[in-house]
Structure 1
């Protein structure tokens, strides 16, 4: 045990004493807040970023051309020129857009926008929305329905989600919870690769420099692998802890700077206070640590099986595919249905649960599912560590031979 502790101490102190580690502790939170501020400024002034687009309307139906209304950065201009003449002009003018509306406009794919450059979705969506509104208004007039009356009685109902708890009803804040869940999933996905790769890179460096032969003479391969995994994991926890503390301090300073009750910052902070950060943070740390331990054991086995990082790709892809698959689903599907059968199973299977469960947790997860998921994560870590250790003990002493999956299978069954 003392040997494992010495390896942990060496791996930890070697990394935290680096200048790059100290710099990144302060740089990452600053970059995140700077990026957020830039995104907010860009979103605020997004209308100024794009130039005004003129859409020349060729309307053979004589229904739409005089009923379009201009919107920000999009101006509609009815023209009488032929479509062929305008197409010739558009070939030499990138800003020229031509909207062709034939007489049989209600047929599929007959309304077209011509331009030298591909038009943005904003323009095509706006044209489609206005044409549909105009067509509906015309249909109502044909049926002697006044569109003005219909518009005046049209309601705009907003639904507010309210969560019933033991302490009473409270705002569910679906949007912020969704954002927190996806952010945690992305952070775990990225961190597992970053710190897992550090373990793999450390194994490869020691193997290629032949230092491993000296180390193995004093400690068992399993002790060395375990010490590396835990040491690098503690480095990751140290970084996350520092980032969390700095983020809390920055948020408090921002809250005091924007202490106006009407300020948008105070409104955002009030919403964030309704999110159970303590519970989410505890789950995040568990799934980061358990997911890291599970995947880093496999990364260590990969590092022991190769002589350089360029040879790792054949082994990395099948290992990381479940995590990548879950990440894609998390940011596209799972947050829309956090209690679906797919989400539940992905949050229980050890190879996918670190990402999938963090998407579900802000929405509330039944206690038995969370307990089962955590139990499976611990069992999965123990199993993968056992498998990786059997490969690692042979692979770290193999040189000059490209390993295959068949070769790894042989290493696994070698006797002590």
Structure 2
């Protein structure tokens, strides 16, 4: 046990003291924040005003196209032929032609442009024309605009979980987002830190350092020390990222507190305006900040965090043992490719299956893939925010521990032989022989 601890200490300190680790740990949350800030800034600040000319021969769409921050509509009284001739000189971005018989032939609408028009602009123009034609046809049938407005209903339901503890408000949207994030973090960590274990073993084997180390440490102890050491490095980075992200979020909340208060006041005033004479609220207006916080509070955060920690460690230990066996079996990184596919396929399939599990968290596919040790770390983390029976979580954890124990045994049998094997191209048949060597 002392030797394993020494290897863990060495692997941990060597990686944590690297400049790359410190830089990525500090810059990671900042880079994510900068990325999303840049996306928002581009989405808001890069809007260009586009001019669209409209030639309406039907005279039914006057002032139906509304100006916005990005679009300005000019109605022309000239004929389409002369409008097309003057289009290039006008500097407009598009020319919309609506013929007289547009109601009988709605597909006769034409949009002219110097190059092309965006799908957003094209669909926006089509929507306006479609709605106007619909209203004209309904009016001819005796249905007024007021009747149409009164018939439109915005239904917004509230999800409530029924359990032995009673009724509890839940949020499917928040569960989907949290489950997806947890699954993605485990998916990435298994690849990143598992590969680190494999490359570290391959590097020591190539440099012949392992021949010196193996004289005082057993192969099994060396492999376990490397796996646990890298796992602690990953946990350290995750903890620091969480602390830094929480700190940045607190700072951002304090900076934006005035804006949030103003928004909440505006929402309250809007609710009062929508309140009819009977005193009952007539609008369905909610504070978006309070709605997000309520969605998050509806989840069992302690359970999610504890399960994330377990499945992160379980999934990493299971796959890193196999990555370590591959690193011990080959002489260089180029030879690892032939053995990587059987290991990475279950991880990739897990992430693909997760997309279907999000649609049906309690289906048979979700249940069985959350029990198989090779897929359970990702799939179970997708399911847990939606609510999973305790016996299913316990069974999945037991099977994951057994799966990890089995892969450790298998990897250690390959590791003890392969770590001192040089100059030989290893095949799957050769690996099978190593497992049963005494």
* Structure 2 CA distance for aligned equivalents of residues 324 and 94 of structure 1: 50
User: Shift of the alpha carbon at 1:82?
Assistant: 5.7
**Following the alignment from structure 1 to structure 2, what is the Cα–Cα distance between the partners of residues 110 and 340?**
48
Tell me by how many angstroms 1:320 deviates: 1.4
Q: 1:70 is matched with which residue: 66, 86, 89?
A: 66
When structure 1 is superposed on structure 2, of 373-382 and 321-330 the one drifting more is 321-330
Instruction: After superposition, give the CA deviation of every residue in 1:211-230 in whole Å (9 maximum; x if it has no partner).
Output: 12222333332222111111
Structure 1: runs of 5+ lacking an equivalent: none
Do structure 1's residue 382 and structure 2's residue 405 form an aligned pair?
yes
Q: CA deviation at 1:324?
A: 2.0
CA distance in 2, matches of 1:326, 1:197: 18
Which residue of 1 is the match for residue 278 of structure 2? Answer: none
Matched, 1:171 2:177: no
Q: Corresponding residue for 1:235? A: 233
Aligned to 2:49: 52
Aligned to 1:163, the other structure's residue is in SS state strand
CA contact (8 A) 2:61 2:132 kept: no
- Whether 1:338 and 2:337 are equivalent positions in the alignment is no
Q: Is the 8 A contact 2:220 2:412 kept in 1?
A: yes
Match of 2:344 in 1: 320
Tell whether 2:419 aligns with 1:393. Answer: no
- Residue 283 in 1 paired to residue 283 in 2? no
Three-state SS of the structure 2 residue aligned to 1:158 is coil
Alignment-derived partner of residue 9 in structure 1:
9
Aligned counterpart, 1:196: 194
Provide closer, same or farther for how the CA distance between residues 201 and 110 of structure 1 changes in structure 2, counting only shifts above 3 A.
Answer: farther
Q: How does 1:98-177 map to 2 (within 5 A)?
A: 119-164=117-162, 169-177=167-175
- 1:309 is matched with 333
Distance 1:403 1:145, change over 3 A: same
1:295 maps to 2:319: yes
Q: In the TM superposition, what is the alpha-carbon distance from 1:123 to its structure 2 partner?
A: 2.5
Aligned counterparts of 2:405 and 2:98: Cα–Cα separation in 1: 66
**Residue 262 of structure 1: SS of its match in structure 2?**
helix
- Structure 2: state its 5+ residue gaps: 264-287
Aligned counterparts of 2:350 and 2:235: Cα–Cα separation in 1: 23
Give yes or no for contact 1:94–1:116 (8 Å, CA) kept in 2: no
Secondary structure of 2:359 counterpart: coil
Please report how far the alpha carbon of residue 78 of structure 1 lies from its aligned counterpart in structure 2 after TM superposition. 6.7
Structure 2 CA distance, aligned partners of 1:345 and 1:239?
31
Aligned length: 408
1:26 aligns with 2:34: no
- Aligned 8 A contact 1:255 1:266 in 2: no
Larger radius of gyration: 2
Per-residue deviation, 1:296: 0.6
Does the C-alpha gap of structure 1 residues 339 and 216 become closer, same or farther in structure 2, counting only changes over 3 Å?
same
Contact 2:53 2:92 in 1 (8 A): no
Does the 8 Å CA contact 2:52/2:95 hold for their aligned counterparts? Answer: yes
CA shift digits 1:240-281 (9 cap, x unpaired): 223333344444555555556736796355654443221111
Structure 1's 56 and 388: CA in aligned 2 closer, same or farther, altered over 3 A? farther
In structure 1, the residue corresponding to 2:161 is in which secondary structure? strand
Q: 1:99–1:114: 8 Å Cα contact kept in structure 2? A: yes
* Maintained 8 Å contact 1:255/1:269: no
Q: What CA distance in whole angstroms lies between the structure 2 residues aligned with 1:140 and 1:78?
A: 25
- d(CA) in 1 for partners of 2:154, 2:386: 27
1:355 pairs, out of 353, 360, 378, with: 378
Q: Secondary structure at the match of 1:176?
A: helix
TM-score (normalizing by structure 2): 0.78
Aligned match of 1:405: 428
Q: More deviation in 308-317 or 266-275?
A: 266-275
* Alignment match, 2:392: 369
